[in-house]
Amino acid sequence: MNSSVQHANGRYPPGDFAIWIFIYAELLAFGIFFLSYAFARANNVELFNESQLLLNRTAGAINTLLLITGSYFVVRAVAAIRDDKAQLCSRWLMAAIMMACAFLAIKLVEFYTKYQEGISLSTNTFYMFYLSMTFFHFMHVILGAVILAAVMLKARNGAYSREEHTGVETGGSYWHMVDLVWIILFPLVYIIR
């Protein structure tokens, strides 16, 4: 259980071992949610199809693009620090955080609209899943943004270098996980009929 120093020239998995326990736990939690959704849907196909039509796919699609773009920016940030360019790294991270904020804003509008329409966790099983999963993910996007912000500030203050930037890789891995979850969630809940 010794944590080994991860070098920039790619010992995998990137970042610290302990973070991967948490990433796996996160994926497990979301995975179970997805499976539960699939199971519930199998028992309520009509209800799910009907309720799904009321979702805002455009918002969902834009959000997908925002997160993927954010991931691209994170990749650029890691590349920058591997090149010993701490300030550039922090700017790429800022860009990623902007993407996250845009996602959060659009999602908030979506939630608010649903609230106005009188839809809640108790409306029906589909909406219970929709609201639960997207809210759970929403909170993870916030957490991801907070983590990126912490890493960004540390990068700006010179805490990372070509030799030692485990934190950037760890934070980056977490962000990618959040993105990955959405990439599954969006088609699963918004699209698949």
Would you count residue 22 as binding another protein (CB under 8 A)? yes
Would you count residue 43 as binding another protein (CB under 8 A)? no
Would you count residue 21 as binding another protein (CB under 8 A)? yes
To the nearest whole angstrom, how small is the minimum distance from the Cβ of residue 7 to another protein? 11
Classify 5 as helix, strand or coil.
Answer: coil
**Among residues 9, 58, 116, 122, which is the contact residue for another protein, using CB under 8 A?**
122
To the nearest whole angstrom, how small is the minimum distance from the Cβ of residue 121 to another protein? 5
Distances (CA, A) of 139 to 89, 94, 135: 25, 19, 6
Distances (CA, A) of 120 to 44, 123, 141: 18, 5, 21
The interface mask with another protein, positions 49-88, x = CB under 8 A, is ----------------------------------------
Comparison of 56 and 125: residue with beta carbon closer to another protein = 125
Residues in the chain: 193
Tokens of 99: 């993407």
Contacts of 11 (CB under 8 A, 6+ apart): 4
